[in-house]
Amino acid sequence: MSDGQIVVSGLTKQFKKVRAVDNLSFTVEPGRVTGFLGPNGAGKTTTLRMLLNLVTPTGGTGTIGGRRYADLSQPLRTVGAVLEASSAHKGRTGRNHLRMICAAAGFPNRRADEVLDLVGLTPAAKRKFKGYSLGMRQRLGIAAAMLGDPRVLILDEPANGLDPEGIRWMRGLLRTLADEGRTILVSSHLLSEMELLADDVVIIAAGKLVKQGPVTEVVDGMAHVARVRVQTPQANELVKALADTVPGTTVSRADDGTLTVIGTEAATVGRTALKAGVELHELTTERPDLEDVFLDLTAGKAAIR
């Protein structure tokens, strides 16, 4: 087993009324970026906080490199976490915020300046936290996570509040860190961003695991959510034929007359058209993206609890 592997096993959290996380198990491998996805209220934050010993699980365990967070002798040297944007004292400067963490962890003060530089916050180092923009706060959080040069990074919606350049910067940073062999677990709602960044995904809904695996495999395994684009001068006939002979398909029509068929493959559409004597000008399969897959997998489970 590699050092930086995260293993979540049977993790469960019952809040008073809500079962936020329900017998959840998955693993996160080093050297890869793992996207942790789920609708609002799916239990992502709760899972990450249980992994970091901030929330006590009702059952199950989460380990990092085989140990529970509380058992790590120097936690910040092993794990860096970015949890919420607002967690610094309003009246404290960014630099002092980092120095206070350095003191607790036994890091030299120069680390504070080094990570400020890393996230591009040096100009604001001596400004108070209350004057930071959302993106600056997020960068300070990332700086804090990097203080101990950790081999595992856990980030809860780190792209929140970052501008496009900031998002690209973070993508590059996480990519580089993963390529250095570190473990990156990052929760996000930005599915197109995750499709660019993540190697693996863990998708949960209503506290339960829905799917885990490499992004390409997960997407390829979901060919049935592919969209088939059709150009035809006899749109109405085709729509009727599909409705009559291929149940479960939905067809939408764009302004320019292009039809998009969801719920079946191009071959079926072609065969149906042939049988119905419908003339086709174009028949293309559009590979589903992560968003299509995500929405299909979590359909009906996305309700906020």
Partner 1 sequence: MTTTTAVAPTVAFPDPGPAPLRLIRSELIKIRSTNVWWLFGIGVVLFTALALVVWTLIGNSQIDTAAAAGNDVFTPSQGTDAAQIAAERQQFAVEHDLSRTLISVAAQIYTSGQFFGLMFVMLIGTVLITNEFFHQTATTTFLATPHRTAVILSKLATAMLAAAFFWIFTTVLSLATGAIFLSAKGYGTQLDQWPVLRAILFNGLAYALWGVLGVGLGVLIRSQIGAVLVGSISYVAGTFLIQPIVFLIYTFLIKKTWVLTAMVAWPAIASGIMISPEDAYPYAPDWWVGGLVLVGYSVLFGAIGTLITRRRDIS
Ligand X SMILES: Nc1ncnc2c1ncn2[C@@H]1O[C@H](COP(=O)(O)OP(=O)(O)OP(=O)(O)O)[C@@H](O)[C@H]1O
Please report, as ranges, the residues that interact with Mg ion according to CB under 5 A.
45
Residue 205 in the binding site for ligand X (CB under 6 A): no
Residue 40 in the binding site for ligand X (CB under 6 A): yes
- Do the beta carbons of residue 190 and residue 159 sit within 8 Å? yes
Interface with partner 1 (CB under 8 A), residue from 23, 25, 60, 105: 105
Positions in 180-199 near partner 1 (CB under 8 A): 180-182, 199
Could you give the 3-state DSSP secondary structure of residue 198? coil
Residue 97 in the binding site for ligand X (CB under 6 A): no
Interface with ligand X (CB under 6 A), residue from 8, 28, 37, 44: 44
Compute φ and ψ for 54, nearest 5 degrees: -95, -30
- Do the beta carbons of residue 105 and residue 74 sit within 8 Å? yes
- Do the beta carbons of residue 144 and residue 114 sit within 8 Å? no
Residue 90 in the binding site for partner 1 (CB under 8 A): yes
Half-sphere CA count of 126, side-chain side, radius 13 A = 0
Site string for partner 1, 144-163 (x = CB under 8 A): x---xx-x------------
Which residues, 6+ apart, have CB-to-CB distance to 224 below 8 Å?
263, 264, 265
Looking at the Cβ atoms of 55 and 225, the one nearer to Mg ion is 55
How many chain residues are in contact with ligand X, going by CB under 6 A? 12
- Do the beta carbons of residue 218 and residue 198 sit within 8 Å? no
- Do the beta carbons of residue 52 and residue 42 sit within 8 Å? no
Query: What residues line the site for partner 1 (CB under 8 A)?
Result: 2-4, 29-32, 45-46, 49, 52-56, 69-70, 72, 74-77, 81, 83-84, 86-93, 96-97, 99-101, 103-108, 111, 114, 144, 148-149, 151, 180-182, 199
